[in-house]
Amino acid sequence: MQTSDRIIEAATRLIKKNGYRGVSTKAIATEAKVNESTIFRQFGSKQGILEAIIERHSDIPQFEKLLKEDATDNPEVDLLNVSQQYRLFFHKNADIILIGLRDKGMLPELDRVLADPPLKLHSLLVEYFERLQKKKVIARQDERLIAMSFLSMCYGFQMSELIHRQYQSQLVTEEEFYKHSVSLFVKGILSQS
Amino acid sequence: MQTSDRIIEAATRLIKKNGYRGVSTKAIATEAKVNESTIFRQFGSKQGILEAIIERHSDIPQFEKLLKEDATDNPEVDLLNVSQQYRLFFHKNADIILIGLRDKGMLPELDRVLADPPLKLHSLLVEYFERLQKKKVIARQDERLIAMSFLSMCYGFQMSELIHRQYQSQLVTEEEFYKHSVSLFVKGILSQS
DNA sequence: AATGCATGCAAGTGCACGCTTGCAAATCTG
DNA sequence: CAGATTTGCAAGCGTGCACTTGCATGCATT
């Protein structure tokens, strides 16, 4: 069915821009070139559209694999992989994340898309750094803190891109940022204080 | 006048939680224990409340001083100061930032509170790192990139605290985070590749 | 050709919202 | 105390919103 796709896409575009409450079903219908009644026949209610948007974009990143089975225990390699995966996650879910920021608290599942990945990634990074310390690959230090530093760096860069992209011409490209940041971070955790 | 204060505080609380469009003037009146008509006599319109909220919180951070006149050119010291200032900025403007995230695009000034500080800080950091390189305090590297790494780290940590504080019990405290992160970052930019 | 289904169209319903107004009570000010 | 200002109260206005419904039309399947 092509109609409901057009509705979902139109709604996504508008809600991302104006927030759920800032968009009327009439506006969605116009944007989707569809009669307003069709929306309700397809999704039942306005909230039904939002649920459909979320369901369609449910894409949860798989950090476990990168930091456990596939880990090389060379932090420069592994962390670059993780950062790429995280970046990919932001790109795939950009719409939902932006909607989630605007309409936090509307749907529990929407909040989870926003809150879960960083939490999950932090705990995996803690485990990873613990292991590297036991193997004496990196210096002794508080794993919680280095995990948080690395996570904040990636999270901050991506969020800033999402939130401010329209206002600021790209200061640095994603690729050079991660290449440089990961190596800078690794130097930091390798060196003995 | 105590009445308008109560209205502004009530409105801030509610808008932060539900977004501008998610809060009715009636709800604000109830929360402020004030008659609804009083709101309009005081602020003229619903948008007038929002403008008053913004005006009241206009608090722009002064990074220039820290990175120019007062700079010690010891990066560990200066960057810790900057991070503290940035952290302070987030605390003072937490309400507005959260509202700005929700209702981006409603008022130009609201958008600016959100977008300007990171941009400004980035350009100041670029200048700062340029100078340290000329003085051979730190190794040769792209100032734009180290500035962005440091900024993203601070921005990411603070944004994550603002956005997720309710969901995640604090993983690390602000103080230990900055103490650790700054020193890790400085190690990274000091070491020769 | 007949049946069923998705859609368009037009009209409408009820409700919540932003906002106004007139008047009385309360509170402040000189 | 007198006058002015600020509030509460109650009623109401117009509008936009989410959502419904009945009917007509096109379109695909059998």
Question: How confident is the model at residue A185, as a pLDDT?
Answer: 97
Residue B172 token pair: 């690390």
Flag if A168 and B119 touch (Cβ within 8 Å). Answer: yes
CB A21 within 8 A of CB B22: yes
Mean pLDDT across the stretch A131-146? Answer: 93
| Distance from C-alpha of A83 to C-alpha of A20, rounded to nearest angstrom | 31
| Distance from C-alpha of B108 to C-alpha of B113, rounded to nearest angstrom | 9
Q: What is the pLDDT of residues A5-17, one digit of tens each?
A: 999 999 999 999 9
Question: How confident is the model at residue B191, as a pLDDT?
Answer: 76
CA torsion through residues B50, B59, A166, A164, sign: negative
Quickly list DSSP for B137-183. SS----HHHHHHHHHHHHHHHHHHHHHHTTTS--SS-HHHHHHHHHH
Question: How confident is the model at residue B139, as a pLDDT?
Answer: 87
Q: A91 Cβ partners below 8 Å, 6+ apart? A: none
Size of interface A-B (CB pairs under 8 A): 152
- Whether A42 has a pLDDT exceeding 90, the answer reads yes
Q: What is the pLDDT of residues A26-36, one digit of tens each?
A: 999 999 999 99
Mean pLDDT in chain B? 93
Please give the residue of chain B at the shortest CA–CA distance from A103: B102
Question: How confident is the model at residue B57, as a pLDDT?
Answer: 82
Residue whose tokens read 């403008």: B51
Residue B26: which nucleotide is closest by CA–C1'? Answer: C17
- Whether A184 has a pLDDT exceeding 60, the answer reads yes
Residue whose tokens read 């006048």: B1
Q: What is the pLDDT of residues B10-25, one digit of tens each?
A: 999 999 999 999 999 9
Of how many residues is chain B composed? 193
Question: How confident is the model at residue B74, as a pLDDT?
Answer: 94
Q: What b-and-e string marks burial along B147-177, b requiring 16 or more CB atoms within 10 Å of the CB? A: bbbbbbbbbbbbbbbbbbeeeeeebbebeeb
Is B11 in CB contact (< 8 Å) with chain A?
no
Closest CA to A180 of A76, A74, A71: A76
- Whether B168 has a pLDDT exceeding 80, the answer reads no
Closest CA to A129 of A186, A62, A69, A178: A186
Question: How confident is the model at residue B167, as a pLDDT?
Answer: 66
Q: What is the pLDDT of residues B28-76, one digit of tens each?
A: 999 999 999 999 999 999 999 999 999 988 777 889 888 889 999 999 9
Flag if B19 and A17 touch (Cβ within 8 Å). Answer: no
- Whether B193 has a pLDDT exceeding 60, the answer reads no
pLDDT band, very low/low/confident/very high, at B119 (cuts 50, 70, 90): very high
Mean pLDDT across the stretch B97-125? Answer: 95
Is B114 in CB contact (< 8 Å) with chain A?
yes
* Substitution target from B50, B151, B154, B171 for chain A, most A beta carbons within 10 A: B171
| Distance from C-alpha of A124 to C-alpha of A65, rounded to nearest angstrom | 10
Quickly list DSSP for A107-145. -HHHHHHHHHHHHHHHHHHHHHHHHHHHTTSS----HHH
Closest CA to A159 of B82, B162, B176, B165: B162
Q: Is the CB of A40 under 7 A from strand D?
A: yes
Residue whose tokens read 């759920």: A20
Residues of B in contact with A148 (CB under 8 A): 157, 171-172, 177, 181
CA angle A105–A108–A113, rounded 5-degree value: 100
- Could you give the C-alpha distances from B18 to A63, A109, B104, B182, in angstroms and in order? 32, 17, 14, 35
pLDDT band, very low/low/confident/very high, at A126 (cuts 50, 70, 90): very high
Flag if A118 and B18 touch (Cβ within 8 Å). Answer: no
Footprint of strand C on the protein (CB under 7 A): A 1-4, 33-38, 41-42; B 23-27, 36-37, 40-41, 44-47
Question: How confident is the model at residue A62, as a pLDDT?
Answer: 85
Residue A126 token pair: 């803690």
Distance in angstroms: CA A53, C1' D27? 28
Flag if A188 and B193 touch (Cβ within 8 Å). Answer: no
Mean pLDDT across the stretch A172-192? Answer: 92
Distance in angstroms: CA A34, C1' C7? 9
Q: How many other β-carbons are positioned within 10 Å of the β-carbon of residue B64?
A: 12
pLDDT band, very low/low/confident/very high, at B153 (cuts 50, 70, 90): very high
Question: How confident is the model at residue A190, as a pLDDT?
Answer: 87
The shortest C-alpha distance from A15 to chain B (Å) reads: 12
Query: What DSSP character marks residue A106?
Result: S
Quickly list DSSP for A54-93. HHHT-----HHHHHTTT--S-HHHHHHHHHHHHHHHHHHT
Mean pLDDT across the stretch A80-100? Answer: 96
pLDDT band, very low/low/confident/very high, at A41 (cuts 50, 70, 90): very high
pLDDT band, very low/low/confident/very high, at B1 (cuts 50, 70, 90): low
Mean pLDDT in chain A? 93
Please give the residue of chain B at the shortest CA–CA distance from A113: B164
Question: How confident is the model at residue B192, as a pLDDT?
Answer: 61
Residue A93 token pair: 């879910």
B contact residues 152-181, partner A, Cβ 8 Å cutoff? 152-157, 159-160, 163-164, 167-168, 171-172, 176-177, 180-181
Question: How confident is the model at residue A171, as a pLDDT?
Answer: 84
Residues of B in contact with A176 (CB under 8 A): 142, 145
